[in-house]
Amino acid sequence: MKKIMVCVFICLALFSCKKKSNSADGVLRIQNTTKPQDAKFNYKFTEEFVIDYNDSTRSMGIKRVSDVCFDNAGNLYVADGLKANILKFDANYQFVKYFGGRGNGPGEFAGGPANIAFCLNKLMAPCYRTTETNVYDLDGNFLQKIPPKIRASFSGQDSFAGKIIMDTESRSISGDEVIFTNNVVVMDSSMSNILDTLYTRSAETKNQVLNIISLYTVYAVGEEMLYIAKNSTSDYRIYGFNKDFKKKIEISKSYRKFEITKEKHPVYQQMEGMGGGFVSKEKSKWKNKRIYYNAVNQMFVDKYQRLWVVSPEKNIGSKEGLFVDIFEKGKYLNTIKLPFHSGNVDFDSVYFDLVVEKDKVVYLDHINQRIVVYGYQEEK
């Protein structure tokens, strides 16, 4: 009887996660099923602070948060995409100052900051309209602008292994359609030249319409590994690069396609030339087409160096909370529920509601116009 139970246990273990190494290219490939390694694994979340958009004494009247980041001292920086400025809060979430602003002068935005990142003791904020990136010191002083020849996509920048990592975008015409090409690149210290290209993908508008997430590449940075997700509607696959920028791991998880049926789901529609904008599916030229969610919509690496992945599975139509897949060293640990419900029920847009930075989880509650900061610990 004991032998039978041991065999059953081994079979279950093999079923939940299959691992194989390809000695030819040195890449470890881990194939996960939908069965978690540890169904009891979870995190405990503690609400630390709330910044209300309308509290002028703290927020200076925030209009629309596009992204947030923390520096090594715990200061919080908030990018306001509508007011086109950046707000700085100290480690106790007290308002310090704001900088940026709308305009064409040094450090200003023609549109607004699409996102913001703390990189090598600097702040980097690309403009969603011009795709140029403003670089500031931590006091908000403008340092330089990354030139137009290196266009920042919506994934923006981060730092890894002492280098700046950037998702760049280029566009070209193919008949009546536009081809979007994204590259995850390593930049030199001047932030003016590309040293290496780690990942490339292209997407072509169909009937001059494109699913929004095809405009950028999802990636996440940890202490030892840089993760880049394959942009696919059917393949849940993530590539991991080491500090030498060599691909060392490939993580996959069983996944089936999920069709987008919501008529108000936002899509990107080409307007004229290579320009375009966001419209609802029902108002686009794609309203009668079948379109699908991407398998991977967001990724983060937490303070335990575990990988968090936001996927449509379990999230579509959910009113219970936001569900996140947790991986450790490529193995699927469990799917956990975060203590809030995302207002972005499409899980396939440019601006999301979840940010995981260092030891904080931030919920950008656009519906109730507030920023909620959580601490988190592994439940024992």
What pLDDT does 346 receive? 57
Give the SS3 label for residue 282: helix
Would the pLDDT of 9 be above 80? no
Report whether 86 contacts 122 (CB < 8 A): no
Q: Which of 284, 186, 287 is nearest to 244 (CA)?
A: 186
Q: What does residue 12 show for φ and ψ, rounded to 5 degrees? A: -65, -40
What pLDDT does 344 receive? 52
Cα separation of 282 and 265, whole Å? 8
Number of helical H runs and strand E runs in the chain: 2, 29
What pLDDT does 13 receive? 43
pTM for the complete prediction?
Answer: 0.90
Winning range, highest mean pLDDT, from 163-177, 268-282, 299-313: 299-313
| Tokens of residue 123, six digits | 């702040």
Mean of pLDDT values over 335-353 = 72
Q: Which of 137, 132, 179, 140 is nearest to 156 (CA)?
A: 132
Would the pLDDT of 148 be above 80? no
β-strands 236-241, 307-310: how paired?
A: unpaired
Local confidence band at 15 (pLDDT 50, 70, 90 cut-offs): very low
Local confidence band at 5 (pLDDT 50, 70, 90 cut-offs): very low
Local confidence band at 216 (pLDDT 50, 70, 90 cut-offs): confident
| Tokens of residue 178, six digits | 């536009």
Domain boundaries, the chain: 18-378
Would the pLDDT of 273 be above 80? no
Alpha helices, H only, the chain: 2-16, 56-59
pLDDT digits (tens, 9 = 90+) for 39-55: 999 999 999 999 998 87
pLDDT digits (tens, 9 = 90+) for 61-112: 888 899 999 999 999 999 999 999 999 999 999 999 999 999 999 999 999 9
What pLDDT does 213 receive? 79
Would the pLDDT of 184 be above 50? yes
Decide if domain 18-378 falls under CATH 3.40.50.10860: no
Report whether 77 contacts 88 (CB < 8 A): yes
Report whether 115 contacts 156 (CB < 8 A): yes
